[in-house]
Amino acid sequence: MKPLGLLLVICCLTSTGFCISCKSCWHMLDSQCDGSSVPCSSDQVCVASYTLISTVTSETPLYTLSCGSHSQCHFSGSMSTNHGTVRTRNSCCDTDDCIPPFPTLQPVCPMKNKLTCRACFSDTSDYCYTSDTIECTGNERKCGRMARRLSGAVTKNDALRGCATRSYCEKVGNQMSTIQGLNIDSKMFCSDGAPALHVGLLGSIVAILLTKLLF
C-alpha cells in the first residue's frame, strides 16, 4: 500500500467516525461516469453532482462523482447571467463505492423577483465587470460573482457575474477540490442586492462548476 493510502486508513481507524471509499470521476454527458475507487476522510459520503449550463443555442452537462461532506447531499441551486443559466443538484449514498441516485434538476422559474444585478462573463480571466444588467427570477435573490481557476487536466480561468440562489452563495464558492486529475480552485462572493441595480459587488471563483468552458 502506498504511504498516502496507508495514512488515510490509519486516520480512519483512529477517528471517532468511519470511512468508506467512493468512485472519483467526471463526465460531460447526461449520464454517470465510472472512475477509480478512492478512500474518503472520516464521516464523508459518496456525492454525485450534476450541473447543466443552458444557453439560447445549447445545453452542456457535467456529472461528477467524489467523496464529500453530508452538508453537500441536499444541495440544489442556480446562477444566471445574460449568457444563460447554470443549475446544479447533488445526491449521496454512504456505502463503499456506491453510486448515488442521478440528481434531478429543479425547473427554471421565469417569474421576475424585482432584483437587478450586474451581469458579465469571461473565459480568459477570473474577474469580470461590465455595465450590463440582468433582471433576476425565481429564487435567485442574490447578486453574485463566481471566479474559477482550473489546473491539471485542464488549465483555465473564468468568471461569471449575475443572479444566484442563496444556496449557490453559501455552498459553491471558497472551495478547492481534485477530481480525476482536474484541480478546481473556486471562490464566490454575494450581496443581498436591492430592488434597484446593485453596484457594490466584489469577489471571485468551480463548481462547480461553468463546465462549458472546460475545453
> What is the pLDDT of the chain when averaged over all its residues?
79
Window from 47-51, 99-103, 122-126, 138-142 with minimum mean pLDDT: 122-126
Strand partners, 27: 63
* Separation between Cα atoms, residue 9 and residue 12, nearest integer Å: 5
Q: Cell for 183?
A: 484541480
pLDDT at res. 182: 75
pLDDT reading at 209 higher than 70: no
The answer to whether 210 touches 160, Cβ cutoff 8 Å, is: yes
* Separation between Cα atoms, residue 178 and residue 62, nearest integer Å: 15
Model pLDDT for residues 30-69, shown as the tens digit of each residue: 788 888 999 999 889 999 999 887 877 888 888 989 999 9
* Banded model confidence at residue 193, pLDDT cuts 50, 70, 90: low
Model pLDDT for residues 144-171, shown as the tens digit of each residue: 988 878 788 778 787 889 999 999 888 8
pTM of the model: 0.75
Look up residue 22 and give its amino acid.
C
Q: Which domains are seen in the chain, by residue range?
A: 17-93 (no CATH), 112-213 (2.10.60.10)
* Separation between Cα atoms, residue 209 and residue 186, nearest integer Å: 9
pLDDT reading at 104 higher than 90: yes
